[in-house]
A and B are shown apart, each in its own frame.
Chain A
């Protein structure tokens, strides 16, 4: 029973972390029509920055989120301005080739530079708060995990409200639906592109902080994480925040249970197998409108 509850909590939390970053990826894809293969690297960078802040300045990880948000927002905008925009302007097969090459190249650069600067070893720190004990000690819930989960839920709600309520959010969704149409009704698609990449990168970096809290980080986690986001997007359908959340939680739970029941080694491959199975059975995703 205890194990089950613990697994459920860590699975949901892992799924939430995945979903946060995966949603950023889906947003960028929706607006710019480019699959950002470097997205996982931003999670890794976020985690690394959080680690470095904690290590050198003693900043609490939950506080470091406040530093990361503007930092990675600007980084994401620079990324859009410098690389993504010139790829968006290409057309057809050329755009596909360019998008894969540019984002993959960036991903390799970030990974290798991070490896050289900070070394290949696993980085993590021990962070704990007094746990919550329920039912005469049969169920112990780590309050760090609960807090992280709360933060993820909070951020998801804020992003949702932003997309639904504000003018900018509506403009962003309009570009996702039809880029040319949005341009025709007077939406500055270039600004929206900047904004989207900023938000997407920011979400990935924040997810990195939570990742850091639960696991350890090394420079090579980026691309495997991007693969998980792909799985989540395929599962949940593109562009839907709740689809991403649900897909993330399904993946998180599956990974955690596979690790527990079979072998932690297989955790790595679960996302991939799920992806293949889903493609065979239901390629349009769980909520099934968007063709991928």
Chain B
């Protein structure tokens, strides 16, 4: 872990930032739906990657089942809507339910450490998929679950975008806070953190709940955009592992890391991956293995990138 000197937040130029914001806001009116779709997908991955990083990057527990919160949020929302609840209430209920679920599993799961935690959370994903398939009265089983209302690309574009911004701000607040410092201390050395008075158990549980919230909120947003979900898609390997790959490839434990990873892999995906008919999962696995072998620190911790990001003030300690 390279230590950094806290650089003053100087951006590469406020004008550039302003231009990006203007383009993003104006995008639905100036282009066809395709560009909007790409941004929506990117935002979705960004939300998942950033929120994964609260537990995966800062606390140091690799939560492979992070996408389960996303899936549970989507399913809870779908079930509530089909039961006749108003949309906003259903969304709130879905988020609340997922947060509750995260709080419930956090205590037993954090009794595991390191790779065991990773595997157990992966099992959580499998469990959710199995439940979604088995409880077909509630979830529609393998046939999936759909909601019916008119498509509105602009609305879902702004929903995704604002959710991504909110997630970014949440993670930013976490990194700036005493809470975030506690999480980092747990990652670096848990017994020492405990000895210094960090209430390790509470911090870890809170971290899991906080990281579950954006993913849970993404569920309703996703369903209201796609109108249809099924277990294989929501709890499948690609949904689960893509954001994690992005976060770690970019550099987990740094605010800018997942953003870089998402941007990079989304680009690769758009240019190369979609051309690939077979072996998509294998190539994802290959990327994972190569990142693990050669740069577990991620792209942003490569020296040339790191110094440049420091100069731009885009890296803060984490």
Contact = CB atoms under 8 A, between A and B. Distances in A.
Contact of A35 (B1, B115, B130): B115
Contacts of A99: 115, 292
Counting from the closest, the 8 A-B pairs by CB-CB distance are A108-B285, A101-B292, A105-B289, A35-B115, A105-B288, A112-B282, A102-B292, A105-B285
Interface stretch (A122-130, A220-228, A247-255): A220-228
A81 to B, nearest CB: 13
Interface in B107-130: 107-109, 111-116, 118-120, 122-124, 126-127, 130
Contact of B292 (A87, A111, A234, A273): A87
Contacts of A100: 62, 64, 115, 118, 292
Contacts, number: 142
Contacts of B122: 37, 223, 227
B286 interface: yes
A104 interface: yes
Interface residues of B, number: 49
30 contacts: A35-B118, A35-B119, A90-B296, A96-B114, A96-B115, A100-B64, A100-B292, A102-B288, A102-B292, A105-B286, A105-B288, A108-B237, A108-B282, A109-B285, A112-B280, A112-B285, A116-B278, A223-B122, A230-B119, A230-B123, A263-B134, A265-B130, A265-B133, A269-B127, A271-B123, A272-B127, A273-B127, A280-B108, A283-B112, A292-B113
Contacts of A266: 134
Interface in B55-75: 60, 62, 64
B281 interface: yes
A86 interface: yes
A6 B10 CA distance: 72
Contacts of A272: 123-124, 126-127
B285 A86 contact: no
A263 B136 CA distance: 14
Given A37-B118, A266-B134, 13 more contacts: A93-B187, A94-B297, A96-B114, A97-B62, A99-B292, A100-B64, A101-B292, A104-B289, A106-B285, A108-B284, A111-B282, A227-B122, A272-B127
B300 interface: no
Interface in A203-233: 223-224, 226-227, 230
Contacts of A102: 288-289, 292-293
Contacts of A280: 107-108, 111
Nearest to B133: A265
A290 to B, nearest CB: 12
A269 B131 contact: yes
Contacts of B296: 90, 94, 97-98, 101
